[in-house]
Amino acid sequence: MSQNSPALDVALAYYEAWSNKHLDEALSYFADGFTSRTPVGPLDAEAYRSFLDGFLGILKKAELVSAFGDETTALMYYDAETAPVPYSPVGEWFRVENGKIVESRIVFDNFPSRALRPSPPSPDAPPARSTGRARLPPCAASQEGAPGPVRPPATRDEHEEVTNMPQRTQVELHFAEQGDGVPVLALHGWEPDHRLMLGALEPVFSRRPGYRRLYPDLPAMGQSPAPARIASSDDMLAAVEDFVDDHIGDQPFLLLGESYGGYLARALARTRRDQVLGLALICPSARRVETAESRPAPRLVLRPDPALISSLDAHIAEAFTSVAVVETPEAVRRFREEVQAGRDIADTGALERIRRNWQLTHEPEDGEPFTRPALILAGRQDDSVGYLDQFDLLPHYPRATYVVLDTAGHNLQIEQPELFTALVSEWLDRIATELAGS
């Protein structure tokens, strides 16, 4: 009789079937309505069959490294030797109900995902649906009563880390919500909190009913925690993915991101390409994230007000003048309330930990172009992320409006509010027109 957990028994049987290239037997472990999140996007059962068939076609051998499980979830790591690359570590997570796999997530490290892109599903196939709320403990084997890990002989150091575990982060993000209708997800940048995006966007949406705006605090910022397991941009993205599962589900939604939030938003548009109706990027971190190759612009204070600055307390004066291109009382007010208020409560220790693993494993622009309406806004005097790197993104976004605003730095939405509102409104109009015609 097996000493493994019920979920692990099913996962191991599934692994045994596909690793011996028994496709039909492997698929027999899937429940009706099975879905999977894969390197090529979310897949339903029919599309996953093509995905797995393609993988088996290039597979030379697979070797299980370790596996864990509890009553309803299982996690396994294995090494795959394939035709495209000699070696690729793989992590796969499963949710099991009534002896069948209902959901999986799979991540390859250093694997050409285009090799596995499945054929398009038939017109009669149902769309892939996110089942949302499955939660896997950080290490199921460490919980009282849970079975220990299964560890067959490994060909490499057992302590070598397999990156990007496909599991729930278990981090609940604090968020603000406004309105009803089509979901809109807005991601703020590094150090501030949701108030940055709320202050930028509510003047736009207050005139446009029919949108449900969601403003989360990213981990380590605002009121959202960042436990030790949140240690990279991959983990930050996973927390946002979980937030979408919990609060948007499989509904189509609009996506906006500012600065670092724009970096995550681009990655989310890649993993949820068919779900994101449109993408807007505000002073986004671009390809050369946090590297010496980035091309920021020299910052110039084009509208100085020395008397105003001298009237501020030293803390606000230093923070504001470090980024300001426009020095006005209104710019100071908004900076204090929408930007600095979040920066003052950020978990700097956690942010430093995450910064050490800043680069996402998978480039946001990997894969097919994003062909929905997009908007890229950059400040001509932005000395944080510049405006040139964002131009390099355009081939991936053939429906993008790209605008560089003069007299604007990294707080473009504060320094050019009228143009910002007009351009975001036009982006919303393009999305509405496309939806009306579909």
pLDDT by 10s per residue, the chain, length 438: 345 688 889 989 999 998 898 989 999 999 998 988 876 667 888 888 888 888 888 888 888 877 878 888 888 878 887 765 555 678 888 899 999 999 988 876 544 433 444 433 333 333 333 333 232 223 333 333 333 333 333 333 333 333 333 456 678 999 999 999 999 999 999 999 999 999 999 999 998 999 999 999 999 999 999 999 899 999 999 999 999 999 999 999 999 999 999 999 999 999 999 999 999 999 998 755 554 445 667 779 999 999 999 999 999 999 999 999 999 999 999 999 999 999 999 999 999 999 999 999 999 998 899 999 999 999 999 999 999 999 989 999 999 999 999 999 999 999 999 999 999 999 999 999 998 886
Residue 168: predicted pLDDT:
62
The sign of the torsion formed by the CA atoms of 302, 305, 310, 313 equals: negative
Residue 330: predicted pLDDT:
98
This model's pTM is above 0.85? no
Domains of the chain: 6-142 (3.10.450.50), 175-437 (3.40.50.1820)
Side by side, the strands of the sheet bearing 59-69 are 41-44, 30-38, 100-108, 88-97, 73-82, 59-69
- Please name the residues in contact with 184: beta carbons below 8 A apart, sequence gap of 6 or more: 201, 205, 211, 212, 213, 214, 253, 254, 255, 256
Residue with tokens 């956690």: 350
- Please name the residues in contact with 354: beta carbons below 8 A apart, sequence gap of 6 or more: 219, 220, 226, 230, 231, 232, 233, 235, 236
Residue 45: predicted pLDDT:
84
Residue 85: predicted pLDDT:
55
List the one residue out of 22, 2, 36, 14 whose CA is nearest residue 100: 14
Angle between helices 233-247 and 348-355 (to 10 degrees): 110
- Please name the residues in contact with 412: beta carbons below 8 A apart, sequence gap of 6 or more: 282, 283, 377, 378, 379, 382, 405, 420
Angle 38-40-46 (CA atoms, 0-180°, nearest 5)?
Answer: 75
Residue 136: predicted pLDDT:
28
